[in-house]
Amino acid sequence: MKRILFLAPLALLACSQPEPVFTDSDDVRNAIMQIENAQFRAHMTSTVEASDSEWQREVSMHWVRNHAANDSTYGMAWLMEDAFIEAGDTTSYQSHLWGNEVTYIRADSSLSIDPLDPRKQRNGNGIGNYYASLALSKPLTDSTWWAEQVSDSLVGVEWEHVLPSRSTPEQFILTSTSIPDSTDEDYHPDSYDIQKWAFQAPHGLPVHHELSWYRGDMGYGSDMNIEWTWENVNQPAVVTAIADWMAPDWAKEPEPVDPAVAGGGGSENWFEEALASLPSIGAEAPALAGLDLEGEPVSLEALNGQLVYVDFWYIGCGPCMRAMPHLAGMQEEFGPEGFTVMGVNHHQKAKTVQRYLERRELDVPQMMLDSLPSEYPVVAYPTWCLVGRDGRIIDRNIGYSEDTGAFLDSLVTANL
């Protein structure tokens, strides 16, 4: 009996649950704001069902909230390695922000150093690639983020407090859901935008983020997941790693860009240069041949005698997808008069394009290619050419906006 009484307190102690660190979301925010530096890894996965595409990203980062360099005090600094993984191929980058100067090493080993104020960047942290920037999330870098989650009347917010146990850590889970505005011109009942965050004790750092959105009017959306692993928090070694970093010897200065190359290598006149590289107005349209969605041969030559709208596009291009309903309407309205739309896609498989069009109930003829012929050096999407009944280019342009539909209707009507 004495032996049993002696062991009972130990058994009760072993069964006791850990005490929670947080009582509400303010505690989580305050804990994060106490973090001065951290080292972490972020694994991202993005899937797009409409285009049958998937990619992953592995981001490794040292980050510090504030730092001093020489006699000046700056905001954040970081050291990042970013690996983009798609279809079995990995493309790696390195970048370093220190003293408001960013060093960027590209996949081809070329190096650039540029002045930068991260607060003025779109993502507020100085990371150029949008998706990579999500690894250094706004809850860490922007103290106003927390208030913004509850200030928008068009976003529904739910908090869930997962209490700690012997097998699971304490977490605060935030789910935000956009409330559709039925008065918006782009409103669609199937559209949604949902985000879910999991913040984990004791530091309140994010360990999981889900982003799911869908645009019903375009039949397109994506699902992304980010998983964080935190290695060092508030450790001097993190700051030292950033401050002492030097570009590796193998990094090199980029090759000079030839301004004569179409697109100008990112020149300010890229649009004019890209447009000028296309077949000229009045010239005979170069040959273009591929397979339709059923796998049967189709060519521009076989459509001689018709007015043909050639539309270079792909699933995932916003303007391309917005244009599709209007192109389907043009096909239906003008088709009986000797007009046809020919969508040209070399990015996706035929079954993927067919499923996408059927889901949106759109009838737009398609030509599937493995690659574009050199006579059509398309660099931006959508790019379109209107080919006359005589096989010559009537007009061509890049892009699709609110006014493009009416312009195309009048252009087709005038040339039927």
Residue 95 tokens read as: 């970048």
More confident site: 204 or 153: 204
> Which pTM does this prediction carry?
0.84
pLDDT at 4: 42
270-415 has which CATH code? 3.40.30.10
Specify the pLDDT at position 181.
85
The reported pLDDT for the residue numbered 13 is 47
Please count the CA atoms within 13 angstroms of the CA of 70 that sit on its side-chain side.
4
Query: According to the 3-state scheme, what is the secondary structure of 239-265?
Result: HHHHHCCCCCCCCECCCCCCCCCCCCC
Percent of the chain with pLDDT over 90: 76
At 11, the pLDDT band (50, 70, 90 cuts) reads: very low
Contacts of 326 (CB under 8 A, 6+ apart): 404, 405, 408
Backbone angles phi, psi at 239, to 5 degrees: -65, -40
Q: Check residues 74 and 202 and name the one with the higher pLDDT.
A: 202
Cis status, amide bond into 373, omega within 30 of 0: no
Tens digits of residue pLDDT in 381-412: 999 999 999 999 999 999 999 899 999 999 99
180-190 pLDDT per residue, tens: 888 888 789 99
Give the pLDDT confidence score for residue 354 in this predicted structure. Answer: 96
User: Residue 391's pLDDT is what?
Assistant: 96
Q: In this predicted structure, what is the pLDDT of residue 116?
A: 83
What was the pLDDT predicted at 31?
A: 94
- pLDDT bracket for residue 15 (50, 70, 90): low
Specify the domain boundaries for CATH 2.50.20 within the chain. Answer: 19-243
The per-residue pLDDT for 261 is 40
Domain with CATH 3.40.30.10 in the chain: 270-415
Region 251-266: mean pLDDT is 56
Query: Average pLDDT for residues 226-255, to the nearest whole number?
Result: 93
Condensed to tens digits (0 to 9), the pLDDT of residues 293-308 reads: 999 999 999 999 999 9
pLDDT confidence of residue 74: 85
Confidence check: pLDDT of 254 > 80:
no
What pLDDT score was predicted for residue 276?
A: 94
pLDDT category of residue 120 using cuts at 50, 70 and 90: confident
pLDDT given for residue 257 in this prediction? 52
Band (pLDDT 50/70/90 cuts) for residue 7 is: very low
Between 4 and 87, the more confident residue is 87
**Which residue(s) pair with 252 in the sheet?**
110
Closest by CA position to 251, among listed 81, 114, 103 = 103
Residue 17's pLDDT is: 76
| pLDDT for the residue 152 | 79
pLDDT band at 262 (very low <50, low <70, confident <90, very high): very low
Chain position carrying tokens 């993190």? 238
> Is the pLDDT score of 272 beyond 50?
yes
Q: What is the pLDDT of residue 227?
A: 98
Peptide bond into 325 cis (omega under 30): no
Residue 122: what pLDDT?
Answer: 73
Rounded Cα distance, 104 and 251, in Å: 10
321-349 tens-digit pLDDT: 999 999 999 999 999 999 999 999 999 99
- For 393, other C-beta atoms within 10 Å of its C-beta total 19
Lowest average pLDDT, out of 31-45, 70-84, 92-106, 361-375, goes to: 70-84
19-243 carries CATH number 2.30.30: no
Do 369 and 344 contact (CB within 8 A), yes or no?
yes
The pLDDT of residue 320 is above 70: yes
Average pLDDT of the chain is 90
Of 177-186, 241-250, 376-385, least confident by mean pLDDT is 177-186
